[in-house]
Structure 1
């Protein structure tokens, strides 16, 4: 049974007030531990969650729309987010590391090793997206919509992290230990890296745009002049339907670039991975020593002395901001989960968690933050993810149609 719950504007404002109170408490209680950074992370997460929910920004959904329906809007939004972030990161990192050199990486940026293990991690993560129906970041904001698969997917991701910790040491010895860590500005300079990355994104955008411009031109009435809407209509439209794809891409890119000024790069798996690691080590399920893991940049999974961390506050803000958006737009639709929901979520989550742990992040941490920083690992992970989504959708289509047609 599905319940559609309508919450008034006053209810949304009450949720915002509760979020503000939480931010004030974080600053007051953790004043000696970087309270302002915690508040910044909370606000950043809230804005991110609101934008993700209203624009339906989801790496899997955007890829699926293209592979199944040839709708390029979502993938163009991802390209836009990456392009905006690449420019923003270049400006910021140019001040931090004026002369990029091989072997000298910018602090805390998600620049990881490039190896066959990274490709396997991307393939696993993409498979998990197909099975569970979302990436991890989308599962976080869909919690606020009452999605039934998302809680199971996040629980499955924790199990996947544990499996990743168990397999890490042999994989590290096999491939990761000697893998190159490639930061493009160190080899091409900031200008060269910016040119290569924006050029590649421009070619992808041009390829996706084929036929899209003609569709947009045909659908617009010749000579029509759009009327200027009233402020009340603008406010109402914010909570009706969905925001334009490009709005989500633009804001996500800006948030990714601005976030590094006050905290670590965006990532949505560090807290979940840290909790899974601490619990599994307490149970004796995983090795106490994970070779080289904590020396790599990415979504760190080091057990924390306190769970009031910037990443945890980012997640709290993300879910809270998405809840405000979902309730204000009447998209909070909880229902009882089915066994299929549980199986899809848990099984897909295991693939997501193993891929995120082994790849040192997910589509937000490794692809988005890594790609923006000029990490070759981010682009390799992204290509692997999208290839897995394409292959998974092909297999799913054949399975649902009863197998390939016999001639």
Structure 2
């Protein structure tokens, strides 16, 4: 049954790559352009996952546990992670699927992300992580705090996200049609490998994969859904120690994400090894390191917290995700301000001479 982790990862990696689904862009757009289109898609993942998870828990298929809120660790870790994803040019999902596409900068970010997460969880910094996450305030889930049934919170979330979806679909319908190139493929091949995937449709597929992950993972003794930070750290731990106990369903999941995104990029003709300049590599290294430190402190990334813990109505998931959004916004604003300062200081420089701004590349 452990091999089902690989199968789920393959499917998720394929969908992430073809749907271009990266939360970094969603967070950045809110702060820099005011656009909430991709943030709404992120909300669709959470809401659809929450509805499905409520069914799974009510019927007794899975019995997930929610830990008390480590408020300080969730806030600090989330902020650090949010800054890191802007520097790295991608969140946990984006870093993995772009690595599979051949983006060398993401390779650097991914390696540092996994290394620092391993150091924080299993290495010399593990005592710091343990201490920080033991400082809890007792709150577990939103519904428990409010003293209401979980379905009422899930229903309210679904209504809010649904209203945002309707808003964006109406705006899309009002826009003039954009001319496109003649299709090179037909039928299912065109849908899967050529046509542009709608963010909301991609979000629903991701939510479905997250729901399937619950019983498949539980069948191996692991109670959980999708996750990237801990399995990345486990993979590093295994490579360093040879401890086979580290290789579980979740480790095969992240390996599958890499493989699935590579297959999608190859099949769609989007795979290309792209070597960045030195400054981009430096940002990727620093960003990846901050991602590992932040996610370990917070107890999850934009997947473990942003897509899964939020669907469990966990305070930790929502607080950490909110802190990630704030950290990403601060970093994006600083990056834009720094870029503007450079352009003002060198008015004669052409855009090409000024160089690219990799941290602001659309997700």
Tell me which of 230, 255, 264 is aligned to 1:270.
230
Residue 379 of structure 1 corresponds to which residue in structure 2?
318
Tell me which of 79, 89, 102 is aligned to 1:146.
102
Gaps of 5+ in 1: 1-36, 99-105, 222-228, 283-302
Q: 1:95: how far off?
A: 2.8
Q: 1:75: how far off?
A: 1.1
Q: 1:218: how far off?
A: 2.4
CA distance in 2 between counterparts of 1:275 and 1:308 reads 7
Tell me which of 166, 175, 195 is aligned to 2:152.
195
Gaps of 5+ in 2: 178-182, 218-223, 345-363
Residue 32 of structure 1 corresponds to which residue in structure 2?
none
Residue 137 of structure 2 corresponds to which residue in structure 1?
179
CA contact (8 A) 2:14 2:260 kept: yes
Q: 1:137: how far off?
A: 2.0
Tell me how many residue pairs correspond in the alignment: 330
Cα RMSD of the aligned pairs, angstroms, is 3.1
Q: 1:68 and 1:242, CA in 2 relative to 1: closer, same or farther beyond 3 A?
A: farther
Q: 1:197: how far off?
A: 4.1
Query: What per-residue deviation string (whole Å, max 9, x for no partner) do you get for residues 36-80 of structure 1?
Result: x22321111111111101111111012223333333321111111
Tell me which of 354, 377, 402 is aligned to 2:293.
354
Secondary structure, counterpart of 2:186 in structure 1: helix
**In the alignment, structure 1 residue 232 sits paired with structure 2 residue 186:** yes
Query: What per-residue deviation string (whole Å, max 9, x for no partner) do you get for residues 355-388 of structure 1?
Result: 1111122111122111112211111111110111
Bigger radius of gyration: 1
CA distance in 1 between counterparts of 2:201 and 2:215 reads 22
TM-score, with structure 1 as normaliser: 0.72
Which residues of 2 match residues 114-263 of structure 1 at below 5 A? 114-161=70-117, 164-165=120-121, 166-170=124-128, 172-173=130-131, 176-187=134-145, 192-200=149-157, 202-203=159-160, 206=163, 212=168, 215-219=171-175, 232-263=186-217
CA distance in 2 between counterparts of 1:90 and 1:163 reads 35
Q: 1:236 and 1:209, CA in 2 relative to 1: closer, same or farther beyond 3 A?
A: closer
CA distance in 2 between counterparts of 1:348 and 1:236 reads 35
CA distance in 1 between counterparts of 2:216 and 2:203 reads 21
CA distance in 2 between counterparts of 1:245 and 1:111 reads 31
Q: 1:248: how far off?
A: 1.3
CA distance in 2 between counterparts of 1:185 and 1:96 reads 19
Tell me which of 15, 37, 40 is aligned to 1:76.
40
Query: What per-residue deviation string (whole Å, max 9, x for no partner) do you get for residues 290-310 of structure 1?
Result: xxxxxxxxxxxxx95345421
TM-score, with structure 2 as normaliser: 0.80
CA distance in 2 between counterparts of 1:307 and 1:97 reads 26
Greater mean alpha carbon deviation, residues 64-73 or residues 53-62: 64-73
Q: 1:214 and 1:337, CA in 2 relative to 1: closer, same or farther beyond 3 A?
A: closer
Residue 388 of structure 1 corresponds to which residue in structure 2?
327
Q: 1:349: how far off?
A: 0.7
Secondary structure, counterpart of 1:335 in structure 2: coil
Tell me which of 248, 264, 273 is aligned to 1:309.
248
Residue 348 of structure 2 corresponds to which residue in structure 1?
none
